[in-house]
Structure 1
Amino acid sequence: MTTPRPSPPKVPAADRGATRIADRVVARIAAQAAREALTTGPGAAPYATVTVHHDIARVRIGLELAYPSDLAAQCAAVRREVARRIEECASMAVPEVDIEIEHLHAPPARPAAGQDRRLR
């Protein structure tokens, strides 16, 4: 008669290994979150660079924004959404989100009243 083998002790999930999320994956999450946070129209898509150290992500976002507009409010919305999304998707702390406004888009020029722009 064989005696049953004792089962190995249960190891908690956190002690079995580690999951590492690449910096470029976190950068894609950040860029997508920034794109969704911006409600203004045309401009180049935001891009992000991220440095991850342990479970802390330092984020830098490059934006093109419409002008005139409330630039501070747009930047605050991007910061909130990027930090929230990275914390939610990658379980990382985001102590800061640096934003660099690289270009401002002025509204298209309007023709003066009564002026016809068609060529005859």
Structure 2
Amino acid sequence: MARIAAKVASTALHRITTPQHPLSDLAAPSAHATTHDATAQLALSVDLPYPTDITAACRQLQREVTEQVAHLTGLDISEVMVTVRRLVVAGQPGRVR
């Protein structure tokens, strides 16, 4: 399930961020999943382009990952926690403070 979530997150991030930041060099998202009965909790770690609306991007990502992973796995997704690993300036790999 973690691989599914990471792939869905990658696709969603590409769509969410590419129009504003086509040159961003973002690392692939990583994911961790915990399941209990028919419910799952997901944790994602992502890079985001800078500048960006971090809150809006994370909310959109949570919404899309929740919907797509639930659809693909048939599980109820109770939580998608998003951690931003780093902010990447368009066309410049590295960290921004």
How many residues are paired up? 84
* CA root-mean-square deviation: 1.4
Match of 2:48 in 1: 65
Match of 2:64 in 1: 81
The higher radius of gyration belongs to 1
Structure 2: state its 5+ residue gaps: 18-23, 93-97
- The answer to whether the aligner puts 1:101 opposite 2:76 as a matched pair is no
Is contact 2:41–2:80 with CA below 8 Å preserved after alignment? yes
Structure 1: state its 5+ residue gaps: 1-25, 110-120
1:42 to 25, 36, 41: 25
Task: Give 4+ residue runs of structure 1 displaced > 4 Å after superposition.
Answer: none
Work out the CA distance in 1 between the residues paired with 2:12 and 2:59.
10
* Deviation (angstroms), 1:35: 0.7
Please give the TM-score of this superposition, normalised by the length of structure 1.
0.65
Look up the SS of the partner of 1:58 in the other structure.
strand
Is contact 2:25–2:90 with CA below 8 Å preserved after alignment? no
Q: Percent identity among equivalent residues?
A: 33
Deviation string 1:62-109 (CA, Å, 9 cap, x unpaired) is 000111111111111110111111111111111110000011012358
Please give the TM-score of this superposition, normalised by the length of structure 2.
0.80
Q: Which has the higher contact order (CA 8 A, sep 6+)?
A: 2
